[in-house]
Structure 1
Amino acid sequence: MKLVYGITLSTLVLVICSANICEDRNIKGCQKLAAIKQDMCQDNCMTTLCPRTCGLCPLTCYSCDHVDHPSDCHHILQCTNMTMSCIVSQTVTASLEKKFQLGCVDNLVCNDLYGAIPNRTQSRGRRDVDLIGGCCSSDLCNKYNEPDKISAPTINPVQPSGKTNGFSAACTEMDSEVCRYFSENNGCNLTCVASLCPQTCGKCSLTCYECASVDLPGQCRNRIMCDGHKESCIAVESHVFNFKEGYKLGCVAKQNCKDLLAMNIEGVCCDNNFCNGNYIPTTTLIPLTSTLDTTTASAQSQLGLPTGCTPSFKHEHNECPSKFVRKGQNCYFVGQHARTRHDAMNVCKYLCSRLVIISSKVENLAISQLLSQQRHQANRYWLDAYRNSSSFSGPWHWRSTGDILRRHTYSHWRPGSHDQTKPDGEHCASIGKAESGDSDNGYYWDHRSCTIHAPAICEYPLGHKLLKKK
């Protein structure tokens, strides 16, 4: 093997360590992140956390001036820039001792000494200078037992695309373990870590209710964590696929929230925890004012309607409030969501109405027709009829008005049902489908436990026009 005497590596190699060490924020975190998201190096945020994993750091190389063998070198340095490779080369000292030098070298110098720097697919070409050693292009690749047989893979740096992921709409994070690694040593102080790991870093400061469709915002109980810096809670009126009106709740970008409400859609944008579930639509209770005098309040009470409540009418000429349809001489609202009778009563109360009171066969048939037209029909719906829970043998009465269902009062009980007494407290009335072949008489009434779930039928009497907004 030929040697070039009189040439020392110090004349060829730059070994100045960069002042700004380029390393992954957390090696374990970057490794797991790379396994989860193979295209992570296409995101600026992730490349700032994992520059070495993404091949964006200058190489780290073993660096020693004179060692008997490359395996004796243990000092490590980072090269100054991306145009340098690791090198190991045999040289001689002033006393003609053969030694090895290791460190960083500019790619052009390395090419002059050993030819083109090999990568994974290339074989080594013939060297212009016959020195024992070589250059390589991966971290710590320049320490080998046989320095004349250096062969190491090349890392091809992946350039980021320029896009940066922000908070997700649901304020979720990719992996809790990855976030635990990145949050160590005050990592959450970094904008990138806080954006990737909002839950771990405590940035999910806003909790909203989230439901695709409910009759009223106050009925939603599902929760979602949102980015309080960029998002607001929203409750907005929406039409579901069967054209029934309802409310959609969740979190949305602040500007989008404002744009929606600017379209005159009923709803609210708010920035406090659970605030969208507290939204009361314009159809709900308001304090008594001069427009609701004592005469009006008295009429409300007599009809079993909540006092001090003004319903909303989409147009001034409408006879029925918003969300109600007219059948005969009354307006009705059919709920789409099953709930206990107590909650069903509250649905009607929110809408300035009451659970339905059926006073004639004509009305029973009208309601039966209305229920049969529902796209998603329930087995039963709540009525206003009720009997005292402490005496199941007591009389049935309309709870909103107090009127007792006497023998001469119209009723349409399923045969024998309302006379039964059961220890489970079936003292609330519902209306359900008629027996096969008996549809001409309309839906039957039945007694049920007040804790079962069924949709509400709310009623707003047309004769009570004093309640319209002036």
Structure 2
Amino acid sequence: MSTMKYYRIFTLSVICVLFTVTLAEICDDDSKSLCSLMQSRIPDMCGDPCLSKFCKRTCGLCPLTCYECIDVDDATQCTTVKTCAKDQYCFTAQTFTINFAEAYRLGCGPIKTCLQYASISTKRVNLDAGCCNTDKCNNKPPALMKVIPKQNFTNATILTTDKSFCVNLDDDVCTRLAIVHPNPCSDDCIASKICPHMCKKCFYCLDCNEVNHPANCTKTTACGYGKQCYGYEKIGSNRLPAVELGCIDEQVCNLLQTPSGHVFGRRDKFTFTGGCCVGDFCNTHPDGAVTTQPSVATISTSSPAVVGQNCSYQYHLTCPAGFKPIGKNCYHMPPNINVTKVNAERYCHDRCAHLVKFSDKVEILNVFSHYDNNHHHGDEVFTSLSKDLLDHWIWDSDKTTANPQLIEHDFHLTHNTCVVAYISYFTGTNGHIVYAYGLSPVDCNHHAIPMCYVTRS
């Protein structure tokens, strides 16, 4: 064989090997922890194209990796691994060596062969053969191997005509997707089907035909694409000023943007005001247009209170989905997520919230005590406290100075500019549980849990 022919054959072999390796690397789960969580929360996820695409290997959408050995005495001792073709399953078959000694052969084989021979009860010969369709499943006797049927997705579709269309499929799954994917809501499957509420494809509005103040409205409605929350003043059935709240088409909102003044009875120049906004319960904002007071204002979609993209609210009558009411605030503390300060801020901002702020040490203990004691004790959470250029410790959430009671001695000695809140406990000499809690300066690249909060009105 000439040198040139040998070189070409060698080159093609290398290319084929690299292609196979690259294909195996590309086809995988986006995140093992994400797929494990999704399997536990949505058992039939692999039957749904929107969900299974994030967990291709878990859902059997990748070429199988199988053990491959020829003429081994014990199938469980095979350690060589091979990536199969797309239309192949893992096989193990009893065979004979060249000397007619009993042995096993392991490797990849056509799915058709698996279905025709290995799975039937009556075999052509008295030799065992088995096949299976999960990674590295064939290093065992054929009798222990089985093919797992593909799943059919039976969950109801999220996008319906009722309020359920604005419910995330699973809040924890959405949280994990937001960590794994830098811009999760750019994916239509995530935004429209899995996490519509997180991605602000929909939101909730107060929905009352006639109340004297938004705070007295107790009904809500889900508002989807092409619509906005609204609120405007009108004359009620009792001929007194009232407020109407709800969800309407964006085009209609333009009619509410220009208030028109009217004079009624003894009230001088009572002005009807109204406007539209985007965001959960944004038509409850106490400083917005939805008021029966004789002052002109409009609900702004670019309020200074905006935290994350498309957020137009700062106060809530009820806590947003995934947030826990504690005192005057609503808190959100995701499990099993540890990120840097920048990513912690982004996590909260994506939920139209701030990193947590504490007024004193008692509040730290109070907030932590509302979470699972067995799960969260010993964890650290990022706060919005940071050190400015003048060495002042400032809450970034509202630009106020931290309570001196929270500033420990090590705050004055550190070069770190970020702060975590912590709580831990140990058993004292008398058998009682002793708690240690407070704030601690850390490097901003330190990993901790993002704890978010919003204020309730």
Q: TM-score range, shorter-chain basis?
A: 0.3 to 0.5
Which structure features the higher share of helix residues?
A: 2
Q: Which has the higher strand share?
A: 2
Taking structure 1 as the reference length, what is the TM-score of the superposition?
A: 0.40
Larger radius of gyration: 1
